């Protein structure tokens, strides 16, 4: 990991994910977006809708990473306990945020009921982000960003605040190799010994007639990446490269 990288952890909250009723796509989206912003995701977990566990895991992630993203459990029903869990983790109360309550009353009028008012509840001390551009803002508690589980809404809210996470980008080069991993493993090991700060990946592919391994090289230092890349090109057997991608 580059010493200049900000780190992130993702907490997916929901019994429906653990039971297989819903497929999580939010973590994949966040990983892609954060990588493009120069943030390194270090851990992803999926946990049930349990207040105590939410509190423990989110608080631990908050201490371990620069940014934490939670998804799920922020609606009006009985199993939406993310706000209570995060409040438990930070040892604060759950309070009704006046701005969120105002928005709900303005939007729902006579249709506002006690269940819907739960959507105005946040951990005490939480802030709202993206108020001017979003139908409903993002709730942040310290370095924890609390998102709903519905992908479309998560995408919209993340888009509104994502520039706040931007750091120096990762540079990437990809080589598609016709030889198998057994042929190139020692080459990759030697490359990493020469360039220990390189983020090197090797991913075998089955049933593709054009190439057998996808090799990725990443660094925040463009010159360092280019040097490692040229070294690898010189070491791979001639005629073994199917194609190359990257900046």
| DSSP structure string for 135-194 | SSPEEEETTEEEE-S-HHHHHHHHHHHGGGG--SPPEEEEEEESS-HHHHHHHHHHHHHH
Residue 69 included in any domain: yes
Last residue of a domain, one of 108, 131, 165: 165
Instruction: Answer yes or no: is 148 within a domain.
Output: yes
According to the model, what pLDDT value does residue 37 have? 96
Asked if residue 149 and residue 181 are part of one domain, the reply reads no
Q: Residue 68 belongs to what domain range?
A: 6-165
Nearest-10 Cα torsion for 75, 81, 87, 88: 180
Is the pTM higher than 0.85?
yes
Tokens 């977006």 appear where? 33
Tell which residue, 18, 8, 38, has the closest CA to residue 167. Answer: 38
Left if phi > 0, otherwise alpha if psi is -120 to 50, otherwise beta: which for 38? left
Per residue in 135-176, pLDDT tens?
A: 788 999 999 999 999 999 999 999 999 999 999 999 999 999
160-219 pLDDT, tens digit per residue, is 999 999 999 999 999 999 999 999 999 999 999 999 999 999 999 998 999 999 999 999
Tell me, what CATH number does 212's domain have?
A: 3.30.70.100
Number of domains the chain is built from = 2
* Domain match, 66 and 159 both: yes
Domain contains 1: no
């Amino acid at each position: 990991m580059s010493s200049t990288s900000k780190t992130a952890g993702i907490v997916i909250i929901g019994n429906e994910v653990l039971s297989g009723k819903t497929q999580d796509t939010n973590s994949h989206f966040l990983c892609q977006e954060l990588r493009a912003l120069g943030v390194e995701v270090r851990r992803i977990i999926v946990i049930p809708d349990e207040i105590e566990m939410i509190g423990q895991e989110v608080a631990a992630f908050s201490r371990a990473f620069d940014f934490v993203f939670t998804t799920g459990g922020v609606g009006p029903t009985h199993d939406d306990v993310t706000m209570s869990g995060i409040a438990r983790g930070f040892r604060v109360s759950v309070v009704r945020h006046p701005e969120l309550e105002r928005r709900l009353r303005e939007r729902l009028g006579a249709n506002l009921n006690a269940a819907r008012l739960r959507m105005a509840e946040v951990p005490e001390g939480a802030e709202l982000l993206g108020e001017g551009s979003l139908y409903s803002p993002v709730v942040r508690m310290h370095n924890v960003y609390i998102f709903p589980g519905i992908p479309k809404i998560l995408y919209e809210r993340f888009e509104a605040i994502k520039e706040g996470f931007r750091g120096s980008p990762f540079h990437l080069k990809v080589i598609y190799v016709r030889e198998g991993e057994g042929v190139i493993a020692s080459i990759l090991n030697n490359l990493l010994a020469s360039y220990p700060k390189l983020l090197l990946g090797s991913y075998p592919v089955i049933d593709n007639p054009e190439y057998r391994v996808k090799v990725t090289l990443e660094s925040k230092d463009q010159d360092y990446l280019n040097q490692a890349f040229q070294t690898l090109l010189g070491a791979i057997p001639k005629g073994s490269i199917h194609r190359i991608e990257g900046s």
